[in-house]
Amino acid sequence: MGYDIQPTASHFIDGAYVEDTAGTPIPVICPVSEQEIARVYAATPAVIEQALAAAKRAQVAWAAMTGTERGRVLRRAADLIRERNYDLSVLETNDTGKPLQETLVADATSAADALEYFGGIAGSLTGEHVQLGEDFVYTRREALGVCVGIGAWNYPTQIAAWKGAPALACGNAMVFKPSETTPLCALKVAEILHEAGAPAGIYNVVQGMGEVGHALITDPRVAKVSLTGSVPTGRKVYAAAAEGIRHVTMELGGKSPMVIFDDATLEDAVGGAILGNFYSSGQVCSNGTRVFVQKGIKEAFLKRLSERLADVKMGDPLDETVNFGPLVNARQLEIVQGFIAKGIDEGARLVCGGQREDMSGYFLQPTVFADVTDDMTIAREEIFGPVLSVLDFEDEAEVLARANDTEFGLAAGVFTNDIGRAHRMAAGFEAGTCYINTYNLAPVEAPFGGSKLSGVGRENSKNAVDHYSEMKSVYVAMTPVEAPF
C-alpha cells in the first residue's frame, strides 16, 4: 500500500496532525521529475505557540514516568519503524532522492536503532551517591524540559530520531523542525511515536524556514537546541541560544581528511573513499573529501577507483538496482557545479565525472579530481556533493599537519596496515569521529560529532544522555549544622 507522499497535514502537534494554510507554502520538489509532489505550509506564530505550549504541558508528566516506562514507548516505536521500513524508505527516497537501495538500510533503520538504544538505557539513567563522612551528596539526573531539534535535509528520518530518542529517554519533550527541503519524514516519526504510546505533546513537528527555527529557539520555554546544519547556520543558532544560556548540540559541516598510506589494503581504501565521497551522492557531513594518497599507491588507487566508479548506476532511485541518486535540489546542483568549475580553473586535474547527467533530475556524475593542492577552494570548502579530491603526500608528520590544517573537525580516516601508525594518526587527528581502515560508519553505540567549527556536543551513545539532561546535587547533612556565630 505505501504512504501518500502528500502528508495528512503540515504539522504534528499535541498528538495530532495540524494544518494552517496561512503559512508560507513549502513545495516539495521531486529531485528526479523536478516536479512538485507535495506541499506543506510553514508554521504561523499560532502554530509555533501551539507546539511549544503542548510540549511544555506534556513534559512534566512524561518526566515523572519511570525510565523503563518511557523506554518501552521508544522501543515500541522502533519495532513499528522496522515493520514499516519499506514504506518509510520509499517516502525518504521521495523526500531526498537518495536511492531506495540506500534508504532501505540507512535511514528508518538508523532511526529505529536510536529509539531502541535509548529506549533500552532509559531505565538505567541514574545519578550517584557521594559519601562525605557521615554527610552525603546524591545527584539526580533531571530532564532539561522542552528541547528544540532542527534538521538538515540529507537524513530527515535519522536526524528526527537521533535528536528525539535521547531527548525523550531523558524525560524531555521535543519540538522538531525539519529542513524545509525535506519536510515529510519527521511527520512519520512523530506519528509512530504517538502510536507507540508517547503522550500527546511529547514529540511535535512544525515546518518552516529559518525564521520558524529562530522563533523556536528564542522562546523562553525552550531549554535546549540541537541543530544539524551548516556552519553559518550553526553560528546564528548558537548565538541565538546563548541569549537565553540554552544548552546546545551543534552537528555542523566538515571538510574531513582521509589518509591512504602506501601499505594500505588497496581495495579497502578505494571502498572507503567511495563510501566517504559518493554515498547519498556525496551529501554527507562526515565525508572524507580530502583524500591524501601517498605517492607509492597513488596510480593504483586512481586506476581502481575509476574501475569501480564504472559500476555506478544512476536512474530512478526507486529502482532497487540504482545505486546513485540525484542531488537534493536545483540549488545544490548549482552549488556543486560551481565548485567543480572552480576546481578546473584553479588547476586541479579532472580524472572523471564533472558533468550533469543528460536526463531528468538533478543528477551529477561522481567526480574525481587529482593533483589537488591544500590552497585550492575544493580542498578548503565543504562542497556537499559527489566530488572527491586527491592530494599527494610523502610522510606521516607532513600529512597529519596538512590533514589538521582546516577550521573544520568533524571526521577523519586513515588506511594503513601499520598498527602503530594507525593509532598515532587517530590520536593526532583534530576531529570528533575517526576511522581506521573504514569510513563513515555511525553506529548508535558510538559517540558522533565534531571538533572545531564542526560542532559542540555529541549525538548517539551514552554520551548523548549528558547533552539532554543535567545533574542536580543534593547535599544531605546527618550531623548538626556548624555556624561561626
The contact set with ligand NAD (CB under 6 A) reads 150-154, 177, 179-180, 209-210, 213-214, 228-230, 233, 236-237, 251-254, 285, 382, 384, 410, 450, 455
Question: Is 352 labeled as catalytic in the residue annotation?
Answer: no
Assign 217 to helix, strand or coil. helix
Cα dist from 454 to 147, 160, 232, 275, 380, whole Å: 21, 19, 11, 20, 14
Question: Residue 153 phi/psi, 5° resolution?
Answer: -95, -5
Range list of β-strands (E), 70-134: 129-132
Verify whether residue 470 is a known catalytic residue.
no
Catalytic residue of the set 102, 116, 180, 459? 459
Cα end-to-end distance, the chain, whole Å: 78
Query: Residue 350: is it exposed, middle or buried by C-beta count within 10 angstroms (0-12/13-18/19+)?
Result: middle
In the complex, least distance from residue 230 CB atom to ligand NAD, rounded to whole angstroms:
3
Please tell me the distance from the alpha carbon of residue 293 to that of residue 295, in angstroms, as a whole number: 6
What number of other Cβ atoms are within 10 A of residue 381's Cβ? 15
Q: Residue 253 or residue 361: which is nearer to ligand NAD going by CB?
A: 253
* Nearest in space to 74 (alpha carbons), one of 38, 136, 118: 118
Active site residue 452: no
Find the catalytic residue in 251, 255, 396, 434: 251
Q: How far is the CB of 283 from ligand NAD (least distance, A)?
A: 7
Return d(Cα 432, Cα 449) in angstroms, integer: 5
Question: Left, alpha or beta for 171 (phi > 0: left; psi -120 to 50: alpha)?
Answer: left
Nearer CB in complex with ligand NAD: 217/351: 217
- Name the active-site residue from 92, 98, 116, 163: 163
Give least dist CB 156 to ligand NAD, A: 10
Q: Which is nearer to ligand NAD, 109 or 226 (CB)?
A: 226
Q: How far is the CB of 214 from ligand NAD (least distance, A)?
A: 4
- CB-facing half-sphere around the CA of 106: CA atoms within 13 A: 18
Q: Which is nearer to ligand NAD, 154 or 204 (CB)?
A: 154
Min dist CB 154 to ligand NAD, Å, is: 5
Q: Which is nearer to ligand NAD, 242 or 397 (CB)?
A: 242
| List 30, 147, 285, 434, catalytic entry | 285
Block residue for cell numbers 538504544: 117
b/e code 227-236 from CB counts within 10 Å (16+ = b): bbbebebbee
Told to judge if 459 belongs to the known catalytic residues of this protein, a careful annotator would answer yes
CB of 426 to ligand NAD, least distance (A): 19
Catalytic residue annotation: 163, 251, 285, 459
